[in-house]
């Protein structure tokens, strides 16, 4: 996993945790080039939509000067929530890679299973459960330390 964009996503997640945010990080890659990387900034920006994935998708799209990210892949440390999963579909992300599964808050393999809906107009390939132990530990330790 050393060269995987997941390492960058995990670093963004850890940095978010250091800022007191729920530790989630996301990276957008196209043709091996990192186009955007972001961590959760909901509290800092006072923005309920400022999840790592949303920030990374916006950064990549504005950077490319286009509202769709065809051919781009997203790497996230945690299973995206329903808002982020739907944003991934709207962005036309080619492939979604994520770390830990999130049975309580996820929207890909749990909850509304956004990409399985007949009304979902774009379905990325999905590879979930990467470095599951490491990604899950990041969150577990964060919430344990705040108790």
For 96, residues 6+ apart whose C-beta sits below 8 A from its C-beta are 73, 74, 76, 80, 88, 108, 124, 125, 126, 127, 128
- Asked if 57 touches a second copy (CB under 8 A), the answer is yes
12 has catalytic annotation: no
Catalytic residue among 12, 53, 79, 132: 53
Of 2, 104, 133, 147, which one interacts with a second copy (CB under 8 A)? 104
Query: Could you tell me which stretch among 2-10, 27-35, 59-67, 130-138 binds a second copy (CB under 8 A)?
Result: 59-67
DSSP code string of 80-128 = PPHHHHHHHHHHT-SEEEEEE--TTT-SSSSTT-GGGSTT-S---EEE-
Among 18, 47, 125, 132, binds a second copy (CB under 8 A): 47
Name which position in 1, 18, 20, 43 contacts a second copy (CB under 8 A): 43
Interaction between residue 46 and a second copy (CB under 8 A)? yes
Q: Using the rule CB under 8 A, is 38 a contact of a second copy?
A: no
């Amino acid at each position: 996993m050393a060269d995987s964009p997941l390492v960058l996503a995990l670093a963004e997640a850890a940095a978010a945790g250091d800022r007191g945010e729920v530790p989630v990080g996301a990276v957008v890659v196209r043709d091996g080039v990192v186009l955007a990387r972001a961590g959760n900034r909901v509290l800092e920006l006072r923005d309920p939509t400022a999840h790592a994935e949303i920030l990374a998708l916006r950064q990549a799209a504005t950077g490319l000067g286009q509202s769709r990210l065809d051919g781009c892949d997203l790497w996230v440390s945690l299973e995206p929530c329903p808002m982020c999963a739907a944003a991934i579909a709207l962005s036309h992300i080619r492939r979604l890679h994520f770390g830990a599964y999130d049975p309580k808050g996820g929207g890909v393999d749990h909850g509304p299973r956004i990409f399985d809906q007949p009304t979902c107009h774009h379905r990325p390939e999905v590879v979930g459960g990467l470095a599951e132990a490491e990604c899950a530990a990041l969150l577990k330790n964060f919430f344990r330390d705040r108790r």
